[in-house]
Structure formats: structure tokens, C-alpha cells
Amino acid sequence: MSMTYSIDDTIVALATAQGLSAIAVIRLSGRDCIAVTQKVFRGKQLEAQPTHTLHFGILHDGERAIDEVLVSLFKEPNSFTKENAVEISCHGSPVIVKEIIKALLKNGARLAEPGEFTKRAFLNGRFDLAQAEAVADLINAETDNARQAALNQMRGGFSKEIQHLREELIHFASLIELELDFGEEDVEFAQRDDLRQLIVKIKGYLQALIQSFDQGNVIKNGVPTVIAGKPNAGKSTLLNTLLNEEKAIVSEIAGTTRDVIEDEMELGGVVFRFIDTAGLRETTDTIEALGVERTRDRMKKAALILYLFDLGVTTPEEIKAEEEHLISLGIPYLKVGNKLDKIDAVRTRQLENDGFILISASQKKGIEELKAKILALFNVNAVKQGDVLVTNLRHYQNLIQTNQSLQRVLDGMDQNVTGDFLAMDIRQSLHYLGEITGQITTDDLLDNIFSKFCIGK
């Protein structure tokens, strides 16, 4: 994708979801978008109207009336993109949307690329890059916690932290650079101990942000949870039991369920994506072997494994062997003993002491206890207004790189390297920080970020 930005381009896209509905909204942006709209609009003279006003009229393609519409007018810089912008609210029919967009294309607009409205908002200085990314996160938020984290980021909470870090670093850098200017004279403007303290303080901030990613990632992306175990351990029954119990809550308001992926469950503000897997056993059947291979693969990528044992048939030796394999994966897991009615009280106590959660998936026993254990592993506090959490992998990686650069500065000081070496690493750390908020960008970086947006945003 190459998106050369020109204010002369009038971009247009459907901004609402596809499908039959009461209304649909088509969005335009660009210096000439009001004039383009006027060409197909019969009603008032739009150019003469003030910003933030609504106007009824008929949308035309030549002499042919397409629909009765309401036009919302936004005059630069008072729009999302800071350009002139128009929103056309029409009847929610795909045929009408198509005809209106066709008419606008004929009259000088072009189809917007994914994320192009938000990209323009960023390029025109409405917000920084981290805030722009939060717009997409807000739309994709699957839980109220994820929504709140994205809203906080969009409203600039995270950006303010980064800005604060940048200022501290720039202050530090200026001291070092000053020293360089006087390099020949061997002056040390910056007291090394003061510098060291400053860096340690900045690294402290960084660490806190980096650590917040554990929680932020869980909130934004959910927890891929693999249900594994031998064939017939009761994996699918457990999945159904877990999902059915939560389905009612998801559909508190009619119609929301449609967009929820089948095998997800929200628990304590976190989305758990359950992955049911092929039973694990040695097999000579090729197809089944492939399934088992995929299970092992999935388990390695999971953030949590619910490992099911059929208590009726599994021997203590087998349990021991399977648990050793689980430990070798290095992924958080819960040992779940299914079919608890098949064992006696003594064995029950033994297993509980060994850290087993005992359930009966088919009789729905022990399910609440299992959920409590799952939640305890991914304990997420409700995100509040103003909380700053790193939720974006790109930001996380850049924060780690910033931190590494700063570590090199500290190491350099320990080894008494000269100011110009220190300055190089300081500049590097500023570069990584600047990429987060977009003070430093490349076309590739922007394309990569905005191409993942939906069309119309």
C-alpha cells in the first residue's frame, strides 16, 4: 500500500457497518469535500453553512434522486481529520450506499484506504501516533476493560507518560551534548553521579510501563487457553459447560452476541479464548497424528493450559509423566481432574493436596472453583479512568529497546567511556521513544499501522 497524502484528495468511505439497517453513514474528508458533496446534493448551499450543522436534502446522481439524506458539515480545523469533512446519513441499504458512493466517485472523490481518516488526523496533528492506534483498539475492544484502556490511551494518558520520559531524556542528552561541544577542553558539565541517578530514575518509569504490559496485553488481547488431555478426558464437554454458562451474560442486550466468536468467554473483565484440541495420544493414524501435532503446537503458544485427566482411568504414574511434560513447556497450567464421581474420598483428598482442581464437566460440578483458579492466574483489576497501561506490542517492544539503550549508557558510565559514546545511546533511546508517539516515523511504519484499521476510520 502506498498512501501519498494530498489535501487535494477528497476521500470517501462507508463509516458504519455493512448490512441492512435504519441508517448508514458515508464519510468524506479533504479540502474540497464540501464542494464535491454539493455536486450531488440538492438542498441548501453547504459552503455557506456554519460548521457542525445538519442539512436535509436529496442525494442525486445526475438527474436521478438516490435518497433523502442528512448531511453533517464539519469545517476545518473543526473535524476529526482537521480538514473539511462531511458525513452523509442515508437509509441503511447496501444498494443506496453503493449508489451514493458511486455518485461521489464520479464527482471527484476517491475511495479511502483503510485507516486513512485517522492517518490524516495524525498527520494534521489532531493526536500523536499512540493515540491514533488507540482509536483502532477502541473499536476492537471486546470487554469493557479493553474499552477503558483504549479510551485512556486515546485521550492521551499514555502519550503524556512517554512525553514526560522524553523530556527527562532530552534534559539528560542536552547536558551530554554540551559536554561534547567543549570536548577538546575535557570539561564535564554533567556530573556523572547526577547523570547516573537521572538514568536510574528514568529506567524506573520505563520498568513500570514495561511491566504493565503483562496486564495490558491480557486486557487487550485476551488469554489463549488450550484445553488439552488424553482422548475422552472430557475436553469438549468442559468447553461447552464453560461457554454455555457464560453465554447468557454476553447477550444482556439483544444483538450483541452476533459479533462474539463462538469459543470465547469473558471472566472478570478478561476474554478467555478457549481452544479445544485433539486428544493427546501416540497414534499410527496419519490424520490423527496431525491433530495431535497441532495440539502440541497450540499448547506451546497458549498463555494457559487447562490439562484434563480422566480420574476414572488415569494411573498415578500416567499423571506424573504427563505433568512432567507440562512443566517442560514452561506455560502456566492447571491440572483438572474430571469425572470426580469415579474416585473415593481418600483419593480426592490426595489429589486436592497435589494441586488438582476436581470437577465433573458433565454434571457441572466444580466449575465455579475452576473459574476462580483461572481468574487468580490472570488477576486483572478493573481499568479506571486515567490508568496508564501498555497494551500495544509495538509500544512494548520500543519501551524495551529504550530501556536497553539506557542500560548501555549506564554500562558505558561504569566503563568511563567518553561523552560521545554516551550521547549515541541516549539518541538511540530517544529514537525508540519517539517512534511510539510518532515524532519519528517512516512511511513503512505508518502504512503498517493504518492498513490494519477498518475502512472508513
Residues that bind a second copy (CB under 8 A): 13-25, 27, 52-55, 63-68, 72, 74, 87, 89, 91-99, 101-102, 117, 135, 138-144, 146-148, 151, 154-155, 252-253, 255-256, 258-259, 385, 454-457
Amino acid at 342: K
Q: Which is nearer to a second copy, 27 or 203 (by Cβ)? A: 27
> How many residues in total does the chain contain?
457
Of 74, 80, 76, 157, nearest in space to 126 by CA: 80
Measured in degrees and rounded to the nearest 5, phi and psi for residue 139 equal -65, -40
Q: Which is nearer to a second copy, 17 or 327 (by Cβ)? A: 17
Is the bond into 77 cis (omega within 30 degrees of 0)? yes
Dist CA 74 CA 82 (whole Å) = 9
Of 309, 336, 298, 321, nearest in space to 230 by CA: 309
Q: Which is nearer to a second copy, 57 or 412 (by Cβ)? A: 57
Q: Which is nearer to a second copy, 147 or 364 (by Cβ)? A: 147
DSSP annotation of 55 reads E
Amino acid at 252: E
Output the smallest distance, CB 336 to a second copy, in A: 30
Dist CA 362 CA 384 (whole Å) = 38
Q: Which is nearer to a second copy, 68 or 352 (by Cβ)? A: 68
Q: Which is nearer to a second copy, 96 or 243 (by Cβ)? A: 96
Output the smallest distance, CB 49 to a second copy, in A: 10
Q: Which is nearer to a second copy, 142 or 435 (by Cβ)? A: 142
Q: Which is nearer to a second copy, 157 or 366 (by Cβ)? A: 157
Copy the grid coordinates of residue 292: 495431535
Of 232, 279, 243, 231, nearest in space to 364 by CA: 243
Q: Are 128 and 39 in contact (CB under 8 A)?
A: no
Output the smallest distance, CB 151 to a second copy, in A: 6
Distances (CA, A) of 37 to 22, 261, 312: 22, 38, 71
Tell me whether strands 223-229 and 270-276 are parallel, antiparallel or unpaired: parallel
Q: Which is nearer to a second copy, 260 or 343 (by Cβ)? A: 260
Q: Which is nearer to a second copy, 81 or 429 (by Cβ)? A: 81
Residue listed under C-alpha cell 474540497: 32
| Greatest Cα-to-Cα distance within the chain, rounded to the nearest angstrom | 86
Output the smallest distance, CB 216 to a second copy, in A: 17
Output the smallest distance, CB 367 to a second copy, in A: 25
Q: What residues does 92 pair with on adjacent strands?
A: 21
Q: What residues does 110 pair with on adjacent strands?
A: 11
Q: Where are the beta strands (DSSP E) in 179-267?
A: 223-229, 264-267
Of 48, 50, 28, nearest in space to 37 by CA: 28
Output the smallest distance, CB 224 to a second copy, in A: 20
Q: Which is nearer to a second copy, 152 or 360 (by Cβ)? A: 152
Tell me whether strands 304-310 and 223-229 are parallel, antiparallel or unpaired: parallel
Amino acid at 311: L
Dist CA 106 CA 319 (whole Å) = 69
Output the smallest distance, CB 452 to a second copy, in A: 12
Q: What residues does 101 pair with on adjacent strands?
A: none
